[in-house]
Copies of this chain bind each other. A is one copy, B any other.
Amino acid sequence: MKDKITIYDIAKKLNITAATVSRALNNNPKISESTRKKVLAMADEMHYEQNKLALALKSGKSNTVGVVVPFIDRNFFSSIIRGIEEELYPKGYHVIICQSQEDEQKELKNFNALLNAQIDGLMVSVSKNTKNFDHFDHVLKKKVPVIFFDRKVDMKGVSTVTLDDYKAGYEATKHLIVNGAKRIAHLSGDWALDIYQRRMAGYKQALVDHNIDCPEGYVVKGQSDIGAGKKAVKKLMKLDPLPDAIFSASDFAALGAIQQLKEMGMRVPEDVKVVGFSNEPFTKFMEVPITTVDQSPMEMGMMAAKVFLEQVKNTSVPIEKNVVIAPKLKIRKSSL
Protein backbone atom coordinates (compact mmCIF):
# COMPACT_ATOMS: atom_id res chain seq x y z
CA MET A 1 0.00 0.00 0.00
CA LYS A 2 2.59 2.49 1.16
CA ASP A 3 5.15 3.58 -1.35
CA LYS A 4 7.10 5.86 0.92
CA ILE A 5 9.53 8.50 -0.27
CA THR A 6 12.66 8.22 1.86
CA ILE A 7 15.53 10.56 2.54
CA TYR A 8 17.58 8.32 0.23
CA ASP A 9 15.30 9.22 -2.69
CA ILE A 10 15.73 12.91 -1.97
CA ALA A 11 19.50 12.51 -1.56
CA LYS A 12 19.75 10.76 -4.92
CA LYS A 13 17.78 13.45 -6.73
CA LEU A 14 19.95 16.22 -5.26
CA ASN A 15 23.15 14.21 -5.52
CA ILE A 16 23.98 14.70 -1.84
CA THR A 17 24.18 12.22 1.05
CA ALA A 18 21.18 10.97 3.00
CA ALA A 19 22.84 12.24 6.17
CA THR A 20 22.84 15.75 4.70
CA VAL A 21 19.17 15.43 3.81
CA SER A 22 18.39 14.21 7.29
CA ARG A 23 20.34 17.05 8.92
CA ALA A 24 18.65 19.60 6.67
CA LEU A 25 15.21 18.29 7.56
CA ASN A 26 16.08 18.37 11.25
CA ASN A 27 17.40 21.96 11.05
CA ASN A 28 20.93 20.96 11.96
CA PRO A 29 23.00 24.19 12.08
CA LYS A 30 25.88 22.48 10.24
CA ILE A 31 23.80 22.64 7.06
CA SER A 32 23.89 25.84 5.00
CA GLU A 33 20.69 27.76 4.51
CA SER A 34 20.83 27.25 0.74
CA THR A 35 21.15 23.45 1.08
CA ARG A 36 18.37 23.38 3.63
CA LYS A 37 16.07 25.27 1.26
CA LYS A 38 16.97 22.98 -1.64
CA VAL A 39 16.24 19.89 0.46
CA LEU A 40 12.94 21.24 1.76
CA ALA A 41 11.83 22.21 -1.74
CA MET A 42 12.69 18.78 -3.12
CA ALA A 43 11.03 17.04 -0.14
CA ASP A 44 7.93 19.05 -0.87
CA GLU A 45 8.05 18.33 -4.59
CA MET A 46 8.43 14.59 -3.97
CA HIS A 47 5.63 14.61 -1.36
CA TYR A 48 8.00 13.45 1.31
CA GLU A 49 6.32 13.40 4.69
CA GLN A 50 8.75 13.50 7.53
CA ASN A 51 7.62 10.63 9.63
CA LYS A 52 7.15 11.35 13.28
CA LEU A 53 8.15 7.80 13.87
CA ALA A 54 11.45 8.35 12.14
CA LEU A 55 11.92 11.30 14.44
CA ALA A 56 11.05 9.05 17.36
CA LEU A 57 13.74 6.64 16.18
CA LYS A 58 16.23 9.46 16.49
CA SER A 59 14.96 11.07 19.69
CA GLY A 60 13.91 7.81 21.26
CA LYS A 61 10.62 9.30 22.41
CA SER A 62 7.18 8.60 21.03
CA ASN A 63 5.06 9.85 23.94
CA THR A 64 3.17 6.61 23.68
CA VAL A 65 2.70 4.11 26.49
CA GLY A 66 1.66 0.52 25.88
CA VAL A 67 -0.76 -1.29 28.18
CA VAL A 68 -1.25 -5.06 28.04
CA VAL A 69 -4.10 -6.71 29.94
CA PRO A 70 -5.57 -10.21 29.74
CA PHE A 71 -9.00 -8.89 28.68
CA ILE A 72 -10.30 -5.39 28.07
CA ASP A 73 -13.89 -6.41 28.83
CA ARG A 74 -13.44 -6.94 32.55
CA ASN A 75 -14.54 -3.86 34.41
CA PHE A 76 -11.47 -4.14 36.61
CA PHE A 77 -9.01 -3.88 33.71
CA SER A 78 -10.92 -1.26 31.73
CA SER A 79 -11.10 0.92 34.86
CA ILE A 80 -7.35 0.59 35.41
CA ILE A 81 -6.80 1.68 31.81
CA ARG A 82 -9.08 4.63 32.37
CA GLY A 83 -7.00 5.60 35.41
CA ILE A 84 -3.77 5.33 33.41
CA GLU A 85 -5.21 7.50 30.63
CA GLU A 86 -6.56 10.13 33.01
CA GLU A 87 -3.12 10.53 34.54
CA LEU A 88 -1.04 10.36 31.35
CA TYR A 89 -3.20 12.20 28.85
CA PRO A 90 -2.73 15.68 30.39
CA LYS A 91 1.03 15.00 30.35
CA GLY A 92 0.95 14.53 26.59
CA TYR A 93 1.15 10.74 26.52
CA HIS A 94 -1.08 8.49 24.43
CA VAL A 95 -2.04 5.03 25.50
CA ILE A 96 -2.27 2.05 23.17
CA ILE A 97 -3.79 -1.12 24.48
CA CYS A 98 -3.41 -4.82 23.66
CA GLN A 99 -5.08 -7.87 25.16
CA SER A 100 -3.20 -11.12 25.80
CA GLN A 101 -6.33 -13.23 26.33
CA GLU A 102 -4.30 -15.14 28.96
CA ASP A 103 -2.06 -16.52 26.19
CA GLU A 104 1.73 -16.40 26.47
CA GLN A 105 2.30 -16.26 22.70
CA LYS A 106 -0.17 -13.41 22.26
CA GLU A 107 1.43 -11.55 25.15
CA LEU A 108 4.86 -11.92 23.53
CA LYS A 109 3.54 -10.73 20.17
CA ASN A 110 1.77 -7.81 21.84
CA PHE A 111 5.09 -6.78 23.36
CA ASN A 112 6.77 -6.88 19.94
CA ALA A 113 3.98 -4.86 18.31
CA LEU A 114 4.27 -2.28 21.09
CA LEU A 115 8.07 -2.13 20.91
CA ASN A 116 7.73 -1.58 17.19
CA ALA A 117 5.40 1.29 18.01
CA GLN A 118 8.34 2.77 19.95
CA ILE A 119 6.54 2.91 23.27
CA ASP A 120 8.21 4.89 26.04
CA GLY A 121 6.89 2.54 28.71
CA LEU A 122 5.01 -0.71 29.16
CA MET A 123 2.37 -1.36 31.80
CA VAL A 124 1.24 -4.92 32.08
CA SER A 125 -0.90 -7.32 34.06
CA VAL A 126 0.57 -10.73 33.32
CA SER A 127 -1.35 -13.45 31.49
CA LYS A 128 -2.08 -16.34 33.84
CA ASN A 129 -0.75 -18.91 31.39
CA THR A 130 2.62 -17.23 30.91
CA LYS A 131 5.40 -19.54 32.07
CA ASN A 132 8.38 -18.10 30.20
CA PHE A 133 9.25 -14.48 30.94
CA ASP A 134 11.97 -13.82 28.36
CA HIS A 135 9.77 -11.29 26.57
CA PHE A 136 9.78 -9.16 29.74
CA ASP A 137 13.60 -9.23 29.80
CA HIS A 138 13.59 -8.30 26.14
CA VAL A 139 11.60 -5.12 26.86
CA LEU A 140 13.86 -4.19 29.77
CA LYS A 141 16.96 -4.71 27.63
CA LYS A 142 15.56 -2.14 25.23
CA LYS A 143 15.54 0.23 28.22
CA VAL A 144 11.79 0.59 28.08
CA PRO A 145 10.53 0.81 31.68
CA VAL A 146 8.05 -1.89 32.68
CA ILE A 147 5.43 -1.46 35.39
CA PHE A 148 3.29 -4.35 36.63
CA PHE A 149 -0.21 -3.80 37.94
CA ASP A 150 -2.37 -6.31 39.82
CA ARG A 151 -0.59 -9.40 38.48
CA LYS A 152 3.18 -9.27 38.65
CA VAL A 153 6.33 -11.26 38.03
CA ASP A 154 9.23 -10.89 40.45
CA MET A 155 11.86 -9.04 38.45
CA LYS A 156 14.69 -6.71 39.41
CA GLY A 157 14.27 -3.03 38.68
CA VAL A 158 10.58 -3.29 37.89
CA SER A 159 7.93 -1.38 39.82
CA THR A 160 4.62 -2.87 40.80
CA VAL A 161 1.19 -1.58 41.79
CA THR A 162 -0.88 -4.27 43.41
CA LEU A 163 -3.82 -4.79 45.72
CA ASP A 164 -3.34 -6.15 49.20
CA ASP A 165 -5.13 -9.37 48.26
CA TYR A 166 -4.28 -11.04 51.56
CA LYS A 167 -5.96 -8.26 53.48
CA ALA A 168 -8.92 -8.36 51.09
CA GLY A 169 -9.43 -12.09 51.71
CA TYR A 170 -9.04 -11.55 55.45
CA GLU A 171 -11.50 -8.65 55.63
CA ALA A 172 -14.13 -10.34 53.46
CA THR A 173 -14.03 -13.48 55.62
CA LYS A 174 -13.99 -11.52 58.87
CA HIS A 175 -17.05 -9.58 57.68
CA LEU A 176 -18.94 -12.88 57.17
CA ILE A 177 -17.88 -14.10 60.63
CA VAL A 178 -18.93 -10.85 62.31
CA ASN A 179 -22.32 -11.18 60.61
CA GLY A 180 -22.86 -14.62 62.08
CA ALA A 181 -21.46 -17.05 59.52
CA LYS A 182 -19.91 -20.15 61.09
CA ARG A 183 -19.18 -22.42 58.12
CA ILE A 184 -17.55 -20.39 55.37
CA ALA A 185 -16.59 -21.96 52.05
CA HIS A 186 -14.19 -20.35 49.62
CA LEU A 187 -14.28 -20.31 45.80
CA SER A 188 -10.70 -19.80 44.71
CA GLY A 189 -9.28 -18.98 41.27
CA ASP A 190 -6.33 -20.22 39.27
CA TRP A 191 -3.43 -20.81 41.66
CA ALA A 192 -0.95 -19.98 38.89
CA LEU A 193 -1.79 -16.38 39.84
CA ASP A 194 -0.53 -15.41 43.26
CA ILE A 195 -3.47 -13.02 43.73
CA TYR A 196 -5.72 -16.07 44.26
CA GLN A 197 -3.24 -17.68 46.63
CA ARG A 198 -3.05 -14.48 48.67
CA ARG A 199 -6.85 -14.11 48.82
CA MET A 200 -7.09 -17.70 50.07
CA ALA A 201 -4.33 -17.15 52.64
CA GLY A 202 -6.27 -14.16 54.02
CA TYR A 203 -9.43 -16.26 54.19
CA LYS A 204 -7.64 -19.07 56.07
CA GLN A 205 -5.98 -16.70 58.54
CA ALA A 206 -9.30 -15.03 59.35
CA LEU A 207 -10.79 -18.46 60.11
CA VAL A 208 -7.84 -19.37 62.35
CA ASP A 209 -7.97 -16.03 64.17
CA HIS A 210 -11.66 -16.59 64.95
CA ASN A 211 -11.39 -20.27 65.85
CA ILE A 212 -13.47 -21.39 62.91
CA ASP A 213 -12.90 -24.70 61.16
CA CYS A 214 -12.31 -25.16 57.47
CA PRO A 215 -13.77 -28.64 56.81
CA GLU A 216 -12.47 -30.70 53.91
CA GLY A 217 -14.01 -29.70 50.61
CA TYR A 218 -14.73 -26.14 51.73
CA VAL A 219 -12.13 -24.65 49.37
CA VAL A 220 -13.16 -25.15 45.75
CA LYS A 221 -10.73 -24.21 42.99
CA GLY A 222 -12.15 -23.17 39.63
CA GLN A 223 -12.11 -20.68 36.79
CA SER A 224 -13.43 -17.25 37.64
CA ASP A 225 -16.70 -17.51 35.73
CA ILE A 226 -20.41 -18.17 36.23
CA GLY A 227 -20.13 -21.84 35.30
CA ALA A 228 -17.42 -22.43 37.89
CA GLY A 229 -19.58 -20.83 40.59
CA LYS A 230 -22.52 -23.10 39.75
CA LYS A 231 -20.34 -26.19 39.70
CA ALA A 232 -18.77 -25.27 43.03
CA VAL A 233 -22.14 -24.86 44.73
CA LYS A 234 -23.30 -28.25 43.43
CA LYS A 235 -20.23 -29.76 45.13
CA LEU A 236 -20.57 -27.72 48.33
CA MET A 237 -24.25 -28.58 48.81
CA LYS A 238 -23.35 -32.26 49.08
CA LEU A 239 -21.07 -31.65 52.07
CA ASP A 240 -21.87 -32.25 55.69
CA PRO A 241 -22.00 -29.81 57.40
CA LEU A 242 -23.43 -27.46 54.76
CA PRO A 243 -21.72 -24.09 54.47
CA ASP A 244 -23.71 -21.07 55.60
CA ALA A 245 -21.52 -18.60 53.71
CA ILE A 246 -19.34 -18.38 50.61
CA PHE A 247 -16.44 -16.04 50.00
CA SER A 248 -15.74 -16.12 46.27
CA ALA A 249 -12.48 -14.74 44.83
CA SER A 250 -14.47 -13.63 41.76
CA ASP A 251 -17.76 -11.79 41.23
CA PHE A 252 -18.65 -13.97 38.25
CA ALA A 253 -18.22 -17.15 40.28
CA ALA A 254 -20.25 -15.50 43.09
CA LEU A 255 -23.03 -14.78 40.58
CA GLY A 256 -23.01 -18.40 39.38
CA ALA A 257 -23.08 -19.56 43.00
CA ILE A 258 -26.11 -17.37 43.76
CA GLN A 259 -27.94 -18.60 40.63
CA GLN A 260 -27.27 -22.23 41.60
CA LEU A 261 -28.33 -21.68 45.21
CA LYS A 262 -31.60 -20.16 43.99
CA GLU A 263 -32.15 -23.11 41.66
CA MET A 264 -31.68 -25.44 44.64
CA GLY A 265 -34.24 -23.49 46.66
CA MET A 266 -31.73 -21.83 49.01
CA ARG A 267 -32.11 -18.16 49.88
CA VAL A 268 -29.33 -15.55 49.79
CA PRO A 269 -28.50 -14.23 52.38
CA GLU A 270 -30.94 -16.05 54.71
CA ASP A 271 -29.57 -19.57 54.08
CA VAL A 272 -26.20 -18.76 52.58
CA LYS A 273 -24.38 -15.42 52.73
CA VAL A 274 -22.22 -14.56 49.71
CA VAL A 275 -19.29 -12.19 49.18
CA GLY A 276 -17.71 -11.70 45.75
CA PHE A 277 -14.59 -9.95 44.52
CA SER A 278 -13.96 -7.06 42.09
CA ASN A 279 -17.03 -4.85 42.37
CA GLU A 280 -18.16 -5.65 38.81
CA PRO A 281 -21.00 -3.26 37.88
CA PHE A 282 -23.63 -6.02 37.82
CA THR A 283 -23.08 -6.76 41.54
CA LYS A 284 -25.00 -3.65 42.52
CA PHE A 285 -27.81 -4.10 39.97
CA MET A 286 -28.90 -7.52 41.26
CA GLU A 287 -32.18 -8.31 42.98
CA VAL A 288 -30.01 -9.06 46.03
CA PRO A 289 -27.03 -6.75 45.52
CA ILE A 290 -23.76 -8.61 46.10
CA THR A 291 -21.23 -7.67 48.77
CA THR A 292 -17.84 -7.50 47.10
CA VAL A 293 -14.26 -6.23 47.35
CA ASP A 294 -13.51 -3.02 45.50
CA GLN A 295 -9.95 -2.99 44.22
CA SER A 296 -9.90 0.74 43.42
CA PRO A 297 -8.86 0.06 39.82
CA MET A 298 -8.97 3.74 38.79
CA GLU A 299 -6.55 4.51 41.61
CA MET A 300 -4.39 1.52 40.65
CA GLY A 301 -4.13 2.81 37.08
CA MET A 302 -3.33 6.34 38.21
CA MET A 303 -0.63 5.03 40.56
CA ALA A 304 0.93 2.95 37.78
CA ALA A 305 0.99 6.05 35.58
CA LYS A 306 2.55 8.14 38.35
CA VAL A 307 5.28 5.56 38.91
CA PHE A 308 5.98 5.60 35.16
CA LEU A 309 6.20 9.42 35.11
CA GLU A 310 8.68 9.33 37.99
CA GLN A 311 10.69 6.74 36.14
CA VAL A 312 10.96 8.76 32.91
CA LYS A 313 12.03 11.83 34.89
CA ASN A 314 14.93 9.84 36.32
CA THR A 315 16.33 8.17 33.28
CA SER A 316 19.68 7.31 34.84
CA VAL A 317 18.49 5.01 37.61
CA PRO A 318 15.75 2.42 37.28
CA ILE A 319 13.28 2.96 40.10
CA GLU A 320 11.83 -0.05 41.86
CA LYS A 321 8.68 0.95 43.66
CA ASN A 322 6.13 -1.40 45.13
CA VAL A 323 2.83 0.34 45.71
CA VAL A 324 0.18 -1.66 47.56
CA ILE A 325 -3.41 -0.48 47.43
CA ALA A 326 -5.82 -1.20 50.28
CA PRO A 327 -9.00 -3.14 49.42
CA LYS A 328 -12.42 -1.66 50.19
CA LEU A 329 -15.27 -3.93 51.19
CA LYS A 330 -18.57 -2.90 49.59
CA ILE A 331 -21.16 -4.26 51.99
CA ARG A 332 -24.51 -5.08 50.36
CA LYS A 333 -27.50 -7.30 51.05
CA SER A 334 -26.02 -10.67 49.97
CA SER A 335 -23.91 -11.00 53.14
CA LEU A 336 -26.14 -9.46 55.81
| Chain A residues near B (Cβ < 8 Å) | 1-4, 6, 8, 11, 17-19, 22, 49, 51-54, 56-58, 60-64, 66, 71-73, 75, 78-79, 81-82, 85, 89, 94-99, 101, 106, 109-110, 112-118, 120, 142-145, 255, 281-282, 285-287, 312, 315
Pick the residue among B98, B116, B120, B286 that contacts A62 (CB under 8 A): B116
**Copies of this chain assembled into the complex:** 2
Instruction: Indicate if the CB atoms of B57 and A4 lie closer than 8 Å.
Output: yes
A2 to B142, Cβ gap below 8 A? Answer: yes
Contact of A143 among B1, B6, B255 (CB under 8 A): B1
Contacts of A112 in B (CB 8 A): 52, 94
A-B contact list, 11 entries, CB within 8 Å = A2-B60, A2-B144, A6-B58, A8-B19, A52-B112, A52-B115, A54-B57, A66-B96, A89-B106, A96-B113, A281-B282
Known: A1-B60, A117-B53. A95 touches B98 (CB 8 A): yes
Q: Report chain B residues within 8 Å CB of A19.
A: 8, 11, 17-18
Q: Would you call A117 and B6 a contact (CB within 8 A)?
A: no
Docked pose: A19 CA to B57 CA in angstroms? 16
Residues of B within 8 A of A17 (CB): 17-19
Q: Name the CB-closest residue of B to A67.
A: B97
A241 to B101, CA, bound (A): 51
Alpha-carbon distance A99/B18, docked complex (angstroms): 38
CB distance from A226 to the nearest CB of B (A): 9
Query: In the assembly, what is the distance between CA of A2 and CA of B141, in Å?
Result: 10
A30 CB to closest chain B CB (Å) equals 12
Q: Give Cα A286–Cα B71 distance, bound, in whole angstroms.
A: 24
A75–B280 Cα gap in the complex (Å)?
13
Return the contact of A255 from the options B1, B58, B75, B285 (Cβ within 8 A): B285
CA distance A63 to B1 in the complex (A): 12
Given contacts A1-B312, A19-B11, A53-B118, contact A113 B94 (CB under 8 A): yes
Min C-beta distance of A187 to chain B, whole Å: 17
Name the B residues within 8 Å of A78 (CB-CB): 71-73, 78
Known contacts: A99-B85, A255-B285. The answer to whether A94 contacts B110 by CB under 8 A is yes
Chain B residues contacting A106 (CB-CB under 8 Å) are: 89
Contacts of A71 in B (CB 8 A): 78
Shortest Cβ distance from A123 into chain B, in angstroms?
Answer: 14
Asked if A57 contacts B6 (CB within 8 A), the reply is: yes
Give CA–CA (A97, B79) in the complex, Å.
15
CA gap between A75 and B98 in the complex, in Å: 16
A192 smallest CB distance to B (angstroms): 23
Q: Which of A75, A142, A145 has the most CB of B within 10 A?
A: A142
Task: Kindly provide the distance from the CB of A199 to the nearest chain B CB, expressed in whole angstroms.
Answer: 23
14 new A-B contacts at CB < 8 Å, known A54-B57, A72-B97: A1-B60, A1-B315, A49-B142, A56-B116, A62-B116, A64-B116, A72-B81, A73-B75, A78-B78, A95-B98, A255-B285, A281-B282, A286-B286, A287-B287
Chain B residues whose C-beta falls within 8 Å of the C-beta of A115 in the assembled complex: 52
Measured CA separation A1–B308 after assembly (Å): 12
Report the Cα distance A85→B82, complex, angstroms: 22
Residue of B nearest to A121 (CB): B1
